[in-house]
Amino acid sequence: MSEPAHPDRLSDEQFRERFRAWLAANYPAELKQDSHRPFRRLRGDAAVAWLRRVRQAGWRAPAWPREYGGMGLSFRKQLIYHEELEHAGVARIIDLGETQLGPTLIQCGSEAQKAHYLPRILSCEDVWCQGYSEPGAGSDLASLRTSAVREGEAFIVNGQKIWTTHATDSTHIFTLVRTGKFAKKQQGISFLLIDLATPGITVRPIVNLAGEDEFCEVFFDNVRVPAAQLVGELDQGWTVAKALLGYERIWIGSPALAGKALELARTLVEELALTNDAGVMDRLAQLAADLHDYRLLYAEICDSIADGGKPGPDVSMLKVYASELLHRLTEFNQEVAAESGGIVGDARIGGALTDLHWQFMMARPVTIFAGANEIQRDILAKTVLGLPAEASARN
């Protein structure tokens, strides 16, 4: 059978074949991304059920070291892993425990935190969401105000988080909270792990413009959090949170979604018999060429990391390009469908069943979250290109 058992002993290509075969045999056909739902996503019970199956077969947590229960893959094999997920049409899962908190704990957590939380993330016993943003602290995250005051062996947390994706599906939240006041506002922030079942926490779902309850507000009213839930040093949470940002931007920059959107674009153009329409074909060709270029850029940056480099500030380029390409692709899909582009829910276009509204709406916020594109361009200008900082623009 296709077990990953010792991926180190497999060549990259052997590894690819094994994983591909395993996905083909195990991923449920009805959950695949296709022209109906190109950005299909699993959440809640469906996500947990699939992740448990992945774990049983030994394919969980490709980036985590083996000693913590992960696969310990080289960066190159991680890339292959993600390519195969895309190839097989496996739905996206926002599993912040695996992709964000786990690696953070492995790098900055105490032995007790690692021993307690990491296995529970792998088994999906704990499901984590990210509590960083606040109503007054979006792009300017360091101005966050939710406070944690030490009282004996606990912190007392008061304040509010917002835009917390899938908080209603989660058991725990990792937060940035204010523990001290310093001249530099990035100081005095701490990284705190909080069980959402703790008394004093209220979670209120927020409906988005597609009518889905995707994100939430989380209120903290005198919430007692054991002091042992602090990750890293007191007041050093900013550094803890930043440690993995580069890797996050790499995975967010993946061309997978844009690839699915382009497949849909091709299907639409064929089904609508627009292949003789020069204007439409010109735009489609431009999009295809841009995606092709982008895949090369992505591969180049990933290769340099696979060869031992670390993600640098230039990964902001990935986020900007991938998100704007996704905007253009989903706009194209909606526009070529003309009258059908305004239909909400399933629509039959020629022989294809698709949901243009959903793909369009899912793509709207990508230029906003995980560092708005204006902020990413700021980073590119200052850190990569060395252009001077605007006086007092950032503090």
Ligand X SMILES: Cc1cc2nc3c(=O)[nH]c(=O)nc-3n(C[C@H](O)[C@H](O)[C@H](O)COP(=O)(O)OP(=O)(O)OC[C@H]3O[C@@H](n4cnc5c(N)ncnc54)[C@H](O)[C@@H]3O)c2cc1C
Name which of ligand X, another protein, none residue 151 binds, using a CB cut-off of 5 to 8 Å depending on partner kind: none
Half-sphere exposure of 81 (CA within 13 A, CB side): 18
| Signed CA dihedral, 172, 372, 217, 39: sign only | negative
Confirm or reject binding of residue 143 to another protein (CB under 8 A): yes
Cβ closest to another protein, residue 74 vs residue 139: 139
8: number of Cβ within 10 Å: 12
User: In angstroms, what is the minimal distance from the CB of 364 to ligand X?
Assistant: 8
Confirm or reject binding of residue 186 to another protein (CB under 8 A): no
Within positions 138 to 167, which residues make up the interface with ligand X, using CB under 6 A? 138-139, 163-165
What is the distance between the alpha carbons of residues 220 and 167, in angstroms, rounded to a whole number? Answer: 14
Confirm or reject binding of residue 364 to another protein (CB under 8 A): yes
3-state class of 149 per DSSP?
strand
Within positions 188 to 227, which residues make up the interface with another protein, using CB under 8 A? 206-209, 211, 215
Name which of another protein, ligand X, none residue 340 binds, using a CB cut-off of 5 to 8 Å depending on partner kind: another protein
* Piece in contact with ligand X (CB under 6 A), picked from 51-59, 291-299, 327-335, 362-370: 362-370
Name which of another protein, ligand X, none residue 377 binds, using a CB cut-off of 5 to 8 Å depending on partner kind: another protein
User: In angstroms, what is the minimal distance from the CB of 184 to ligand X?
Assistant: 17
Confirm or reject binding of residue 246 to another protein (CB under 8 A): no
Q: Residue 152 class from Cβ within 10 Å (0-12 exposed, 13-18 middle, 19+ buried)?
A: exposed
Give the pairing of strands 128-131 and 172-178.
parallel
Name which position in 144, 258, 337, 379 contacts another protein (CB under 8 A). Answer: 337
Confirm or reject binding of residue 395 to another protein (CB under 8 A): yes
- Contact between 181 and 215 (Cβ < 8 Å): no
- Residue with the shortest CB distance to ligand X: 138
Q: Residue 383 class from Cβ within 10 Å (0-12 exposed, 13-18 middle, 19+ buried)?
A: middle
Within positions 49 to 88, which residues make up the interface with another protein, using CB under 8 A? none
What 95-99 contacts at long range (C-beta under 8 Å, 24+ apart), as own/partner pairs, is 95/47, 95/51, 95/127, 96/128, 96/129, 96/130, 96/174, 97/121, 97/126, 97/127, 97/128, 98/60, 98/61, 98/64, 98/122, 99/63, 99/248, 99/251
Name which position in 277, 295, 383, 384 contacts another protein (CB under 8 A). Answer: 277
Confirm or reject binding of residue 280 to another protein (CB under 8 A): yes
User: Which residues sit at the interface with another protein, rule CB under 8 A?
Assistant: 133, 136, 138-140, 143, 162-163, 206-209, 211, 215, 277, 279-280, 327, 331, 334-345, 357, 360, 364-365, 367-369, 372-374, 377-378, 390, 392-395
